[in-house]
Amino acid sequence: VSPSLAPISDDFLIHTWEVLGSGRFGKVYRCKERRSGLMLAAKVINTITAKEKEMALNEVQVMNQLSHGNVLQLYQAMETRNQVVLILEYVEGGELFDRIVDESSPLTEVDAMVFVKQICEALHYMHQMYVIHLDLKPENILCVDRTSHQVKIIDFGLARRYKPGGKLRVNFGTPEFLAPEVVNFDFVSFPTDMWTLGVVTYMLVSGMSPFLGDEDNQTLSNVLAATWYFDEDAFEHVSAEARDFISNLLIREKGGRMSAAQCLKHPWLNNISEKAKHLNMVLKSQVLLRKYMAKKLWKKNYIAVAAANRLKKIGSSGSLTSLGV
Ligand code: ATP
């Protein structure tokens, strides 16, 4: 039985003229709590269909269970007849990859370690709370501000509560970040997030997307085959430890991947302040990420895995249903 939420109240002033972002099901606006003047964000989700409503309530339920410095905090959730409104902590630093490409000082490997470590802390916490995020792409990693290195994981729209040993399948995602088990419509589990962490880490240190093909079909078959390599040029200044970290995540078999706890123990994410004294070689990723982000502007799409699944049956000539955002 779905819980019902509080009705919309005028405790919050939603700045409908200040859009912070938009997604598949609605928009995110700046918002102010009238009583305290506190700046917040309001994610307004259109819930016309029962399925949309169920998904929005799932997002609320999952977020209600989480409280961690690297996870976006939900303040309150309200509803109208056709909308669910999530009142969220406001994060002003923008998406991590945007920040990196805009930064005047280029990215070093130590910067990447600091970011990845926090993503691992967030995943470790979520997984301990039996939550799988399932949509951990770069747009869902936000910077707290423009100066510090603190990041937060957002968008629990596809996240699921997961009982270990449970049989859970998901059917949505962005092709280049999907784990092989998602493309295959096999069971997902905590390691599904760890695969995506591998993709994000690969991109952070190299600026390249390891499975991205010219079209979705190509990307999905690269993921399914788990074929990837370290591009020699892009990885020129990337340490052996970073490569080892990535290699232990981008493993086709779920059971072979490091858990978030193991990631936090990996040498790459340890003794960071010591490494900061000498590992200040500039990565090539900033320049390559700029190119990637410029292309991505017109290629922001989700695919339905049910459609992607056809790929297996009809081969790489099959076409996919792309749900443009
Ligand atoms: P998608 O279709 O990409 O999954 P969505 O509809 O689930 O999106 P979110 O990913 O939660 O929506 O938010 C969309 C965008 O709005 C984010 O990528 C981010 O840029 C911005 N945003 C979301 N929440 C906040 C926040 N709390 N503070 C600042 N900006 C935010």
Regarding predicted confidence, which is higher, 297 or 261?
Answer: 261
Asked if residue 200 lies in contact with residue 120, where contact means CB atoms within 8 angstroms, the answer is: no
Verify whether ligand 1 is closer than 6 Å to residue 95 (CB atom): yes
pLDDT at site 129: 97
Quote the pLDDT of residue 325: 27
Question: 23 CA to middle of ligand 1, Å?
Answer: 7
User: In the chain, which residue ranges form alpha helices assigned H by DSSP?
Assistant: 50-64, 96-102, 109-128, 180-183, 190-206, 216-225, 240-247, 260-265, 272-276, 285-296, 305-314
Instruction: Report the chain's mean pLDDT, rounded to a whole number.
Output: 88
| The pair of three-digit structure tokens given for residue 98, joined into one six-digit string | 């945007």
Ligand 1 close to Cβ of residue 325 (< 6 A): yes
**Closest atom, ligand 1, to C-alpha of 21:** 16
Question: What's residue 323's pLDDT?
Answer: 34
Minimal-distance CA residue to ligand 1 atom 16: 21
CB atoms closer than 10 angstroms to residue 48: 11
pTM of the model: 0.90
Residue 134 backbone class (left: φ over 0; alpha: ψ -120 to 50; beta: rest): left
Handedness of CA 125, 129, 133, 139 (dihedral sign): negative
141: Cβ below 6 Å to ligand 1? no
Name the residue at shortest CA distance from atom 19 of ligand 1: 21
Q: Does pLDDT of 269 surpass 70?
A: yes
Torsion 84-170-257-293 (CA) sign: negative
What's the CA angle centered on 160, arms 158 and 166, to 5 degrees? 135
Biggest CA-to-CA distance, the chain:
59
Any atom of ligand 1 within 6 Å of the Cβ of 243: no
A 10 A CB-CB count for 243 gives 15
Average pLDDT over residues 161-190: 90
* β-sheet bridge partners, residue 32: 13, 39
Would you name the residues annotated as active-site residues? 135
310: phi then psi, degrees, rounded to nearest 5 = -60, -30
Cβ atoms 239, 215 nearer than 8 A? no
Over residues 222-258, the pLDDT tens digits come to 999 998 999 999 999 899 999 999 999 999 999 999 9
Taking only the tens place, the pLDDT of each residue in 274-294 is: 888 876 777 888 888 988 888
In tens, the pLDDT along 3-32 reads 578 777 789 999 999 999 887 778 999 999
pLDDT band, residue 120 (cuts 50/70/90)? very high
Residue 126 CA neighbour count, 13 Å, CB half: 34
